[in-house]
Chain A
């Protein structure tokens, strides 16, 4: 904030009141003209930036080389579902992702509460540990986990995948929840303790009940991570019918000539859920201070 203070004009008194009003009007007129330049610039940039996404959508609904259809068609979509394991992959992705979201929030919310409310050496040590762990390359854990999970029958298994996703979301998710709980005044809880509420009771009834944006924010983060993951999937998934969507899309590339219409049809299916979730809930995603800022690639 100090920079803002320094930036304030010291010469304020030199301008008369009328002049200041004038200057403001001139400024806002310039602003009005600037708006249209900005609008056109943004329009062009957005169009260029979205080319890869538009190409995907257009190809998904364009008839393939062996097709008799003309114009836009749903043929590719129906083909990809009837002739490949797309429906199974979609189901696998949904099951894994939704389980990850639910378990992540269930683990991160209570832990985040402790991080936010507890002040001891152990708690701040744990918070540092979580922070360090989130920055480590997943490739380091993948090999040992592969061996551990192989012994437990969790390789090529959606449960194994889910456990790893929960493990890799929990670090950032806990920080996000803690950052959100920090913004809930502790006086609310103190009032409930006086009414005879237990610490756990005040956590669930007072804090969690007021934390929908924080929970949603964490859930979106876990959703994006699990839905989009490729590295863990490529290491742990072996058989076609256990594939999640990323592996499914990639499997089309192993043929000599890529079947682009099928690839793009499945790609559209795959990008739809995150786009819908984000379009509907993105206002919740901006919350959470450092937590939100950690949630990236």
Chain B
């Protein structure tokens, strides 16, 4: 909506040039301004463009070169065509990592959404110290991942850590949270939900804040049950921000490196190796630059498609 306002000002002034806008004095002033605006815009945008080319454009092109060549980190070798891609696509490790990434993403997105939604709903009504709780609950997202993974490590890593010891004292055995492949996968996903739910909570709270509460009073006078109010009123009203947050969280989960790497390093037995972790290890531990970059490239392609679709959707919904 605000973009329409922006459109009217400078944009109108700039377009003033096109339809032979001389004639009136106002037209002259406008076209002078628009030429000046174009010049100013160019200089204002220049640093950003230079950085984008240097930090994003150049590496992307160079990555394409590396993905199609053999060689190592120090020297790009000979052109090998799609050989790196076929190496990657035929390796079981790649598909295992892709599968883990998929599960990690699904659990990460919907887990953090459900927890975030629940807390946003609880915090919507006025409760004592509500704002303090809001800030406290953001902490998992604000605290550096290196710090929180350290704490999680201390809590679960060894049989004598706090949580396994707690299980033992309850007579539930001593779960090896980071040594058992299944448990390690679950632990990493729970950790990811823990890190991400505040973001979802923020998004949903912002969406809920714009809902007129009299709607609920009216609905409950009408005899709508809380569940009906939730499904008929709340969910539709937060649908747009929910949709955006799902896709954003998908991108965050697919691209996530530290959450997994710091807690498990991708182990045990590669059980928690995601595509990013696999790409990192292929390049910097196995020194197979070509295949490593090929993995990153395959992810890039997938994410470009997702984000172009997302961009279109956001554009469309902000026009409506």
A→B interface (CB under 8 Å): 3-4, 7-9, 11-12, 15, 20, 23-24, 27, 31, 34-35, 38-39, 41-43, 45-46, 49-53, 55-56, 59, 106-108, 110-111, 113-114, 116-120, 123, 126, 128-148, 163-164, 166-168, 170-171, 174, 181-183, 185-187, 189-190, 193, 198-200, 203, 224, 227-228, 230-231, 235, 245-246, 249-250, 260, 263-264, 267, 270-271, 274-275, 278-279, 282, 286, 290, 292-294, 296-297
Contacts and interface: CB of A to CB of B under 8 A. Distances in A.
Interface string B246-287: 001101101111100110000000000000100110011000
A11 B146 CA distance: 56
Given A141-B56, A230-B257, A231-B257, A170 B62 contact: no
Nearest to B194: A49
Nearest to A247: B146
A35 B217 contact: no
B86 interface: no
A112 B215 CA distance: 37
B146 A174 contact: no
A140 B245 contact: no
Nearest to A47: B136
B187 to A, nearest CB: 12
Contacts of A110: 43-45, 47-48
Interface in B96-112: none
A55 B237 CA distance: 39
B66 A144 contact: yes
A13 to B, nearest CB: 12
Given A38-B127, A53-B140, A297-B195, A170 B51 contact: yes
B14 A119 contact: yes
B150 A267 contact: yes
A116 B5 CA distance: 10
Contacts of A294: 248
B154 A59 contact: yes
Nearest to B11: A119
Nearest to B219: A7
Contacts of B284: 235
B206 interface: yes
A8 B215 contact: yes
Given A27-B220, A136-B255, A274-B142, 8 more contacts: A4-B237, A8-B218, A117-B10, A117-B37, A137-B300, A186-B5, A267-B151, A297-B195
25 contacts: A12-B218, A27-B217, A38-B127, A39-B127, A42-B127, A53-B143, A56-B150, A117-B9, A119-B14, A123-B41, A132-B311, A137-B276, A140-B59, A140-B296, A140-B297, A140-B299, A141-B59, A144-B62, A144-B63, A199-B33, A200-B43, A224-B142, A270-B147, A293-B206, A297-B196
A135 B51 contact: no
A7 B59 contact: no
Contacts of A120: 14
B294 to A, nearest CB: 10
Interface string B25-59: 00000000100110011011101110110111011
Given A39-B128, A132-B311, A274-B142, A249 B73 contact: no
Interface stretch (B77-85, B87-95, B171-179, B301-309): B301-309
A128 to B, nearest CB: 6
Contacts of A183: 2
A135 B215 CA distance: 37
A296 B5 contact: no
**A-B interface, 8 closest residue pairs, ranked by CB to CB distance from nearest:** A167-B55, A186-B9, A111-B48, A144-B62, A141-B59, A110-B44, A119-B11, A52-B151
B62 A148 contact: yes
Give the secondary structure class of A's interface: helix
B170 to A, nearest CB: 16
B199 A296 contact: yes
Contacts of A182: 2-3, 5-6
Given A133-B56, A143-B289, A228 B307 contact: no
B141 interface: yes
B307 A132 contact: yes
Contacts of A11: 222
A279 B135 contact: yes
B45 A111 contact: yes
Contacts of A51: 155
B219 A38 contact: no
Nearest to A28: B217
B162 interface: yes
A107 B53 CA distance: 14
A293 B201 CA distance: 11
A141 B55 contact: yes
Contacts of B304: 132, 135-136
Contacts of B62: 144, 147-148
B145 interface: yes
A63 B99 CA distance: 44
Contact of A143 (B14, B36, B292, B308): B292
B300 A140 contact: yes
Contacts of B217: 24, 27
